[in-house]
Amino acid sequence: MNCPYCTHPKTRVIDTTHDSRGGTRRRRVCDSCKQRFSSYERPILATPLLIKKDGTREEFSSDKLIAGLRVACAKRPISAADVERIVGEIEAELRQLGRSEVRSRYVGDLAIKKLKEIDEVAYIRYAIVYLGLDDLDSIRLEIDRLLTE
């Protein structure tokens, strides 16, 4: 690997750690300038295409899902790490399906289920958009259903 500081082509690995999602973090040192830096390797696994409500297909975007979850979790005691963990779990579950296409509704169902487990207010916020709760009565019914569980 080339050094990001001096672009010298020879670097040595001095430490390696593995994370829970199959990634590998390597601590490296440049043979020329002696600067230390980290590299991160992770396998590139294909996620299925999402079939939207209108029948169009698009690539799964973890960034898009993170953005939606962050809106629902705004000003709630939910860390960015929790949001990324949820997206990572959803992405892993999609890969494990082994299918080339999956309905986008499936991803939404997974997201809403995981939000419900960690924060009920974030769940309601997400549900308002995802389930199309467009009036106060439907929102109240969902809250009442949540309270009875």
* pLDDT tens figures, 73-117: 999 999 999 999 999 999 989 988 888 999 999 999 999 999 999
Taking the C-alpha atoms of residue 100 and residue 120, their distance in angstroms, rounded to an integer, is 32
Q: Which residue has the higher pLDDT, 80 or 19?
A: 80
Taking the C-alpha atoms of residue 59 and residue 44, their distance in angstroms, rounded to an integer, is 14
Would you say residue 120 has pLDDT above 70? yes
Would you say residue 17 has pLDDT above 80? yes
Q: What's the pLDDT at 47?
A: 84
- Verdict on whether the full-model pTM lies above 0.75: no
pLDDT band at 21 (very low <50, low <70, confident <90, very high): low
Q: What's the pLDDT at 19?
A: 79
- How many other CB atoms are found less than 10 A from the CB of residue 107? 21
pLDDT band at 63 (very low <50, low <70, confident <90, very high): very high
Would you say residue 131 has pLDDT above 80? yes
Helix (H) or strand (E) holding 62: helix 62-72
